[in-house]
Amino acid sequence: MTMKVQLRKRDVARHLRRASTDVESMLWACLRGRQISGLKFPRQHPVGGFVVDFFCTSGSLAVELDGEHNAAADLDRSALLQRRGVAVIRFMNELVRSDIEHVLSEIDATC
C-alpha cells in the first residue's frame, strides 16, 4: 500500500472516530483501557486496506459491528481480511445494545 493511500485511510479512521455511533461508543467504553484481558483495542483502525471498527493488535482480531447495510459486502470484506491473516468477529448492533456482556465474553474468548 502506498504512503498516500495509508494517509487517506488514517484520515478516514480519524473521521470515523469522531462520528462514532451510539453502539460503537457503548462497546468502546468496555474495550478501552485494556479492560478485556489486558488487550489493546484501537477503534476505527486501518488494517489491510480497510478501516475496522476495533482491532486487537496482539491477537490480529478485527471486531466489526453491523447495522442495517449490505451483509454480502461485509462477508466479502471479512473474507479479504481473513486471507490477510486477520481473524474477524462480527456483532449486530442490536446484540451489543441488548446483551453487551455476551459480546464482551465472545471477544475475550476469541482473543
Predicted local distance difference test score (pLDDT) of residue 111? 86
Which of these CATH numbers, 3.20.20.10, 3.40.960.10, 3.40.50.300, 2.40.50.140, describes 3-110?
3.40.960.10
d(CA 95, CA 104): 11
Q: What is the pLDDT of residues 12-52, one digit of tens each?
A: 556 666 767 889 999 999 999 999 999 999 998 888 778 89
- Which residues are CB-neighbours of 103 under 8 A, at least 6 positions away? 27, 91, 95, 96
Domain boundary assignment for the chain: 3-110
Reported pTM: 0.79
Over residues 96-109, the mean pLDDT reads 96
Grid coordinates in use for 10? Answer: 488514517
CB-based contact 58:64 (threshold 8 Å): no
Alpha-carbon distances of 71 from 5, 23, 66, 78, 97, rounded to whole Å: 25, 18, 8, 10, 19
